[in-house]
Structure 1
Amino acid sequence: MFILELLNQERRRIMLKFADLILEHVEEIAALDAMDAGKLFSVGKTGDIPNVADVLCYYAGAADKIHGTTLKMSRELQGYTLLEPIGVVGLIIPWNFPSPLLMHKVAPALAAGCTMVVKPAEQTPLSALYYAYLAKQAGIPDGVINVVTGFGPTAGAALSSHMDVDKIGFTGSTEVGCLIMQAAATSNLKPVSLELGGKSPFIVFDDVDVDKVAPLAFVGAVYNKIDKIQFEKVLSYIEHGKKEGATLLTGGNSLDRKGYFIEPTIFVDVTDEMTIAKEEIFGPVLSVMKFQTVEEVIKRANCTKYGLAAGVMTNDLNIANTVSRSIRAGVIWINCYFAFDPDCPYGGYKCSGFERDWEWKDFISFFKLNL
């Protein structure tokens, strides 16, 4: 394991050098994500890639601070816990945030001392390969960060079922997450961390300024390049909304330009049983639904198989506390949305997965030794 090859302090220094190299090459990486994923170059240069470097620096600080504890035993024994890297981890990355989501997994795994095999999405492999190149330049030994490109049913499946892989970390759809769990269970019972699909409610109470809140409603919408399959899927959901009786307030059409683009779309008169209210669309489609009471909106927000995130907009502290504690979701944003920080690991409930990203402890094995 990486932790056996290098002293913890040296690993921290190398991770910091890796972060510096990323910042030195921020434009190249932003250009790769722009070509691969359709990310705005300006967003990559000023947002995504600096965030990648920040996350790496954050976990570099943890690399030399991973310690076990001395136990108070009930008998005349001396006991302590020893923290060791879990081993070889397989990290499967989605296409929508190819740089941030890669480093959210790679950085804590490095801090814990693991070696890893990274499988980027087949649509967006270029930045992952470039990160591996920069890691080598920073002094990370060969074999610590390995990037394997390929498709999910082949490369991803092989990684999930491999007997020498000790853990899988995956971000993607619920359906694929189930397949990964099956592969892990039928191979070597490797643990898995899954951050999966969601249908996240964005709850706006009548005591807030709607004009200030409205721009946040589309923050989580996909602004990446999408392929024909995803494009047709989003359009099919828009047709479902029309056929099932929702009122199309605006948008709903593809844009007449090269590529696959869809107008920001808003439906009103949406009811809980409609397809667009129940299923993850993963496109710029917003369903507006009215509610009367706090109890009603909590019940309706929880009436989903997902539990990834939620937003609560209110000036009433009691309502904010009540609703945020009552919704079964991994992240509850209050008067903000899509706000992340390394000090706050995130993940989901129910069919949105389990375990947390940004958590180095997920890559540690705990051994209790009694002497």
Structure 2
Amino acid sequence: MLDYTYDGWKSRAAALSFRGQAFIDGKFTDAASGKTFASVNPATGGVLAQVAECGGEDVDRAVAAGRRAFEDGRWSRLAPGDRKAVLLKLADLIRANLEEMALLDSLDMGKLVTDAVTVDAPGSAHFFQWHAEAIDKIYDEVAPTGPGDLALVSRVPLGVVGAVTPWNFPLDMATWKAAAALAAGNSVVLKPAEQSPLSALRLAELAAEAGVPDGVFNVVPGFGATAGKALGLHMDVDCLAFTGSTAIGKMFMQYSGQSNLKQVWPETGGKSPNLVFADCGDLEAAADMAAFGIFFNQGEVCSANSRLYVERSIQQEFVDKLIARAEATQPGDPLDPASKMGAIVDEKQTEGILRFVEAGKASANLVAGGERITVDGKGCFVQPTIFDDVSHVDPLARDEIFGPVLSVIPFDREEEAVAMANDSIYGLAASVWTDNLSRACRVADRLQVGTVSVNTVDALSAQTPFGGMKQSGFGRDLSLHSLEKYTALKTTWIKYKT
């Protein structure tokens, strides 16, 4: 039986080794410059590994490897069933190394290892399996024509896909991009966030073990201003998939225009509203999920339900329930199964969250948390924090904090709640709590977001597309729709004698 105790996780962590080199053309390699950067555990401040700091020359090598692999057809022209078999083996290998993959993300960016081993790592295996199983069930089309004409419409892989992924779900976000792109027959060059590169490098090793050919899946760790920009401006990258901030998403769209007009699929920021109406029949469940929606993964979730609009008649009762849940959700060592929240990813992010909190103390009513703490005298930890009676125009309610900070905003009428929820530059997700079916449908219809969760929060699955509207971007991950952005429609018109 696997030992998931605190001592068991600490023992595994102590025995873990880390891949720090880039993975290009089927081999681990140093950056061309020889430069490295430190991968730091935010819970302790300790250095986990020195990681290759890739730059433009390394990106060139990875793209060239991906292009060679694509052109010679070692992956792109494999039968769908053959690609499926390899990706299914990769899914199995992730499951076989589940505890290691979970530890890599927990140590690298501070998330609870219990979440990583039950949500993130199994999710990565599931998403690879799902896309693998889907790829030989996607049919091409025959367009309606007259006698003597046969018009075939097929989906073909684009070529070399660049993927730039964030630090909050390192393994899962790498998977969301790579699983669909690889299933469709593309080569991939992945640039993981510099705060959390370790699981992506191990994933590349597992992909090679599963049978993904050399050059098809490459990983170039490095910084956004160098490796990320080089991918965005590269003349031989056909598509760039990005998850991260809205500001950086806009930069990648500019890079496309400055280079080869590559497709760019941004999934960017969010400030998701959670609307709780007085006719919600289970306020305990609503409070449980409202707390989960902002405190899970330390609030470092693009779709975190960080704006809580609660009907005024139940405001105090509901806030009291949330305070109790915040007090019971204190951060601790991410390797301790008793901990309820982990560490913030790094010092810079921690300081940014605290700046919002300090400003909020002067503009709103702090009712829970609001302090930085340490565990054993170390680490980047922030208490779960709740502000009540927040003005809708306060930065607490407008800006993406990306931390465990909840803003409670009362409302009196449904129309008022919907108007405030929609009054945002973001449109990623929203939640609605009500037992009135007509209200649930009516409000869901009016909310300008990519996903509305009714009587739950942040619902997603492999079968449903994930992405947003407005400045949350227009990229879609997951579902069969994710394959659309990694393929092009090609028409082959044949004239024949009748």
* TM superposition score category, shorter chain reference: over 0.9
Distance 2:406 2:426 in 1: 17
What SS does structure 2 have at the residue aligned with 1:346? coil
Distance 2:420 2:264 in 1: 30
2:263 counterpart residue number: 191
Aligned-pair CA distance for 1:190: 0.6
1:347–1:356 CA contact under 8 A, matched in 2: yes
Q: 1:228 aligned to 315, 339, 347, which one?
A: 347
1:121 counterpart residue number: 193
1:132–1:146 CA contact under 8 A, matched in 2: yes
Distance 1:315 1:230 in 2: 38
2:50 counterpart residue number: none
1:218 counterpart residue number: 291
1:271 counterpart residue number: 391
Aligned amino acid, residue 251 of structure 1: G
1:3–1:85 CA contact under 8 A, matched in 2: no
Q: 1:45 aligned to 117, 124, 146, which one?
A: 117
2:75–2:216 CA contact under 8 A, matched in 1: no
Distance 2:389 2:111 in 1: 33
RMSD: 1.4
Distance 2:137 2:279 in 1: 45
Aligned-pair CA distance for 1:242: 2.1
Distance 1:153 1:239 in 2: 30
Structure 1 or 2, whichever has the larger Rg, is 2
Long gaps (5+) in structure 1: none
Aligned amino acid, residue 217 of structure 2: I
Distance 2:147 2:269 in 1: 48
Aligned: 1:370 with 2:493: yes
1:161 counterpart residue number: 233
Percent of residue pairs identical: 44
Aligned: 1:290 with 2:386: no
Aligned-pair CA distance for 1:218: 3.1
Pairs within 5 Å for 1:245-264: 245-257=363-375, 258-264=378-384
Larger strand proportion of the pair: 2
Question: Which whole-Å deviations, capped at 9, do the CAs of 1:144-192 have from their partners, x for residues lacking one?
Answer: 1100000000000000110110001100000100111100111011111
1:305 counterpart residue number: 425
Distance 2:76 2:416 in 1: 54
TM-score, with length taken from structure 2: 0.72
1:270–1:288 CA contact under 8 A, matched in 2: yes
Decide whether aligned partners of structure 1 residues 74 and 205 sit closer, same or farther in structure 2, where only a CA change above 3 A counts: farther
Distance 1:283 1:40 in 2: 15
1:318 counterpart residue number: 438
Aligned-pair CA distance for 1:83: 1.4
What SS does structure 2 have at the residue aligned with 1:4? coil
Distance 2:437 2:77 in 1: 51
Aligned-pair CA distance for 1:75: 8.0
Question: Which whole-Å deviations, capped at 9, do the CAs of 1:336-366 have from their partners, x for residues lacking one?
Answer: 1122201001101111000201111211110
2:201–2:219 CA contact under 8 A, matched in 1: yes
Long gaps (5+) in structure 2: 1-69, 294-298, 301-341
Aligned-pair CA distance for 1:26: 0.7
Distance 1:14 1:228 in 2: 40
Aligned: 1:148 with 2:220: yes
Decide whether aligned partners of structure 1 residues 238 and 74 sit closer, same or farther in structure 2, where only a CA change above 3 A counts: farther
Distance 2:476 2:171 in 1: 18
Aligned amino acid, residue 145 of structure 2: M
Aligned-pair CA distance for 1:286: 0.6
Q: 2:204 aligned to 124, 129, 132, which one?
A: 132
Aligned-pair CA distance for 1:224: 4.8
2:484 counterpart residue number: 361
Question: Which whole-Å deviations, capped at 9, do the CAs of 1:16-54 have from their partners, x for residues lacking one?
Answer: 111111111111111111110112222212221111111
Distance 1:169 1:106 in 2: 10
Q: 1:21 aligned to 82, 86, 93, which one?
A: 93
Aligned amino acid, residue 55 of structure 1: F
Distance 2:125 2:160 in 1: 23
Distance 1:3 1:369 in 2: 22
Aligned amino acid, residue 367 of structure 2: L
